[in-house]
Amino acid sequence: MNYFSSKFKLGILGGGQLGKMLLTETRKFDIYTCVLDPSAEAPSKIACNEFTQGDLMDYETVVNFGKNVDVLTIEIENVNVNALETLEKQGVKVFPSSKTLKIIQNKATQKLFYVDHNIATAEFARFAYVSEIEDAIDNGGLQLPFVWKAAQFGYDGNGVKVVRSKADLKTLKDGECIAETMIPFKNELAVIVSRNVDGDVKTYPVVEMEFHPEANQVEYVICPARISAAVALKAKETALKVSQAFNHVGLLAVEMFQTQNDEILVNEVAPRPHNSGHHTIESGYTSQFEQHIRAILNLPLGKTDYKVAGVMVNLVGAEGYSGDVHYEHISEIMAMEGVTPHIYGKKQTRPFRKMGHVTIVNEDLNTARQIAEDVKNLIKVISQ
């Protein structure tokens, strides 16, 4: 099929920043795009050919949108899977498939998938209600502290909390959830695996993620990860095993823990472009966004090596500020060598909301990391 400057239509469910960055690549290739998002101010609205405002969880909305495109993809997992199944039966190509998405959407189902496929992951218990957790603690079936995760609809640190005492249970949202053993890890690592329709597979270099202690969000992504070649190989092999088990099409970001004795445990996955791959726009030969387009259209996959060391800093709304966004000191950070800001186009800021990111590239990784810290300390996302 001819995708370029043709009547072919690519549909994207979700119009956030990931969609916006995907659309940079579709514009480069002149691929016609249609985006569905609930917000009239979605960042992707300015960059697609057709924009539809609608609920991603509504069956009819997703079916009606999807039946008018040739290939349908996602930039967010929270979409109506039953609608995707219907579209697949009607001949629309959906990547990732409804089957893959159904497993990944629910964290309990996702964890059981790892157990079934012999993929090492932290021990966990599954609960239908938060009240059941208290019973499990009382009868010795669950030890404090542990990591609580809502089974569905978590994002950017929401739906994840470290529970250190029974009092913390009062702050949790009720509903299906998992309680996971806390891993005293050395590092949090990630590997992005790309797979096209023919089954060709490539992995991006292992990255290391430094998290914000309160927001449970990635603060820095560092490429290449500061780990031994043996640990990097183990992480890559684990990511490939996970990718093979899902047999997905597109990108699969595999987040992992490196334990104190250098074992690799899978934390969770995302079947789409991912925060851990944003640096590839500047640091890599093929950005993760271009690679996702190549994979779902069954085009040859691009080279995944990094050209230069890269560090990414997330720009999130400062605490104590909500309202019309204002970015302080952007011109100052742009005066620094190798620094590129990406502003997502969200008009309203709130504490810890992802508003953009900054990539720092340098021949020397330690220099890049130091500049990243300078950027983090200087730039402020506040309200006017």
367 is in an annotated binding site: no
Closest CA to 266 of 194, 206, 188: 188
158 Cβ partners below 8 Å, 6+ apart? Answer: none
100 is in an annotated binding site: no
149 is in an annotated binding site: yes
75 is in an annotated binding site: no
Half-sphere exposure of 187 (CA within 13 A, CB side): 22
Q: Residue 335, SS3?
A: coil
In degrees, rounded to 5, the angle at the alpha carbon of residue 358 between the alpha carbons of residues 150 and 355 is 50
134 is in an annotated binding site: no
Amino acid at 12: I
355 is in an annotated binding site: no
Question: What does the alpha-carbon distance between residue 272 and residue 73 come to, in Å, rounded to a whole number?
Answer: 9
Cβ atoms of 114 and 180 within 8 Å: the answer is no
Q: First vs last Cα of the chain: how many Å apart?
A: 49
268 is in an annotated binding site: yes
188 is in an annotated binding site: yes
Question: What does the alpha-carbon distance between residue 204 and residue 192 come to, in Å, rounded to a whole number?
Answer: 5
Binding-site annotation, residues for ATP: 107, 149, 180-183, 188, 267-268
